[in-house]
Every structure is written in structure tokens, then in C-alpha cells.
Amino acid sequence: MNSEIPKTRERVSCEEQERLRDFVRQAAWMNGRIAGARVARPDDAVALADLLAHESIGPRIYTMPNPINADTVKVFIEDHLAQRARGDGILFVSFNREGEATAYFDVELWPQWSIAKFGGAVKAERQGRGFGGACGLAAVEWCFDQLGVTRICETTAHDNDRSIRLLSRLGFRQLGEVISHRPDGTTRPSIYWEMERVDRYAARAVRRVDLAPADPEATPPNFS
Ligand SMILES: CC(C)(COP(=O)(O)OP(=O)(O)OC[C@H]1O[C@@H](n2cnc3c(N)ncnc32)[C@H](O)[C@@H]1OP(=O)(O)O)[C@@H](O)C(=O)NCCC(=O)NCCS
């Protein structure tokens, strides 16, 4: 856990904190724009490791285990299930019809300050074609419209051009830098970003990512 973040810490009522925790505990599907993403289970470890192990993904995300394989990703998933049980974190994954993981989205929540941080990635072969833009918008909508936090914060590596463009486009504002701590104890300098719920209607952002192509391979939600 990086104690430098979040930078903005405005305490909310105990009732609101409990509401946020309860929402996370009961969330099973992402719903909204990315309707097929569901909470990751331990038996997703092989498929998720396959997604994350790509050189364009794992090394770019400081929260990832190192090395990335089915065993370490199973621990990553189990840790997120423990976070979900506490109501302060959740991990969603979407799959295509072949059962391959095509994208993930995870949220770290600080209920006491009503602020969430999300991470995510899309399958290497799909990057740079607008899917990440659509997923980023879905993540913002999930945090603000479903979970209902006041703020979202983000961190990006200085050389992650796509993420930097995406966050700027979505309406995030840069608020300096932080040092991000990887699970193995190493560190990475990161750009730090925040967005308030009131900022989310940045017209530029919505116009661009609303036009992103729908995901043709996504599996439909299954509520049975
Ligand atoms: C970051 C990520 C989710 C973005 O999704 P994507 O589908 O690849 O990106 P998009 O096609 O939606 O494009 C996002 C922005 O990057 C721009 N972009 C695309 N390819 C680019 C490239 N090679 N260089 C610079 N910018 C690029 C796009 O033009 C777009 O900016 P715009 O809205 O101003 O036009 C995806 O690349 C990914 O999964 N990366 C690996 C994991 C990662 O870095 N996660 C984020 C950690 S903070």
C-alpha cells in the first residue's frame, strides 16, 4: 500500500463509508458499459496470467506480481477477494467466447475519504484501437455512477503515453508526482492524477471515447 496516495483526503460520514463497503461486497458484475466483466475467481488464474504476462501489460502496472504466472496471479485474485470481503477493493475480468481474458479492471477504495483508484488493461492485440478508451470511460462511470465515490485518483508511469492521453481525455488532472511501491519492494516514479465527480462531464472526453468501437468479442453477461 502506498501511503502517499490519495493526496486529497476529505473524511465522509460513517454511514457513507459503510454504504461504499457494502456496495463493493455485493458487486458481482461490472454492469454498465462493459456488461460482461465479472468478479475474478481463483480458477481464472491461468487465463488472467495469460493476459497480464504480456510485456506491454505486466511491467507497466506497478501493482502486478513479479513474476506473473498462474500461481502468483491466483494469489493476486485471492487478495482481491479478501479486499472485496472487507469492502475496499475488487477485481473484474472480461472474457471472449474462447475463454481468453480480454481485459481486467481493479479498484482500490478508501471508503473513509470516498476515493477510488482503478487500474486496468486490455489484451495486447487490441491495444491502440479505442477499446482502452471505452474501458476507461466504463471504469469512471462504475466508480462515480454505481459505486458513487466523490473522487478517483490514478497513477501512471511517465512513459505510458496511452494512459496519459486517456486520463487527460477522460478529465483527470495531474497533481504532481508520487513514488509507487511494487509488491516486490521496488519503486517507480509516477504521475499522480485526480478527478472529482463534478469534472466528469468534460465534453471532450465523453465525445471521443463514446465513439470507441464496441467490443465484438465480449461475452454477454450471464446472471444465472
Ligand atoms: C492503457 C490502455 C488501457 C489504453 O487502451 P488502448 O485501447 O490501448 O488505447 P486507445 O486506443 O483507447 O487510446 C488511448 C489514447 O492513446 C492514444 N494512443 C494510442 N496509441 C498510441 C501510441 N502508440 N502512442 C501514443 N498514444 C497512443 C490514442 O490516440 C488515445 O488518445 P486520444 O484519446 O487523445 O486520441 C492499454 O493500452 C493497455 O492495456 N496498456 C497496458 C496496461 C496499462 O498501461 N494500463 C494502464 C496503467 S495506468
Whether the per-residue pLDDT at 212 is higher than 60: the answer is: no
- Given CATH 3.40.630.30, say whether it is the number of domain 14-210: yes
- Ligand 1: lining residues by beta carbon, under 6 Å: 56-57, 60-61, 119-122, 127-133, 156, 160-163, 165-166, 169, 208
CA of 172 relative to ligand 1 center, distance in Å: 15
Would you list the domain boundaries of the chain?
Answer: 14-210
Q: Which atom of ligand 1 is nearest to the CA of 154?
A: 48
Confidence of residue 223 (pLDDT cuts 50, 70, 90): very low
CA of 150 to the centre of ligand 1 (A): 25
For 174-192, how does the pLDDT look when each residue is reduced to its tens digit (9 = 90+)? 999 999 999 888 999 999 9
- Whole-prediction pTM value? 0.89
The mean pLDDT value of the chain amounts to 89
Written in H, E and C, the secondary structure of the chain is CCCCCCCCCCCCCHHHHHHHHHHHHHCCECCCCCCCCEECCHHHHHHHHHHHCCCCCHHHCCCCCCCCCHHHHHHHHHHHHHHHHHCCEEEEEEEECCCCEEEEEEEEEEHHHCEEEEEEEECHHHCCCCHHHHHHHHHHHHHHHHHCCCEEEEEEECCCHHHHHHHHHHCCEEEEEEEEECCCCCEEEEEEEEEEHHHCCCHHHHHHHHCCCCCCCECCCCCC
Tell me the CA–centroid distance for residue 133 and ligand 1, in Å.
7
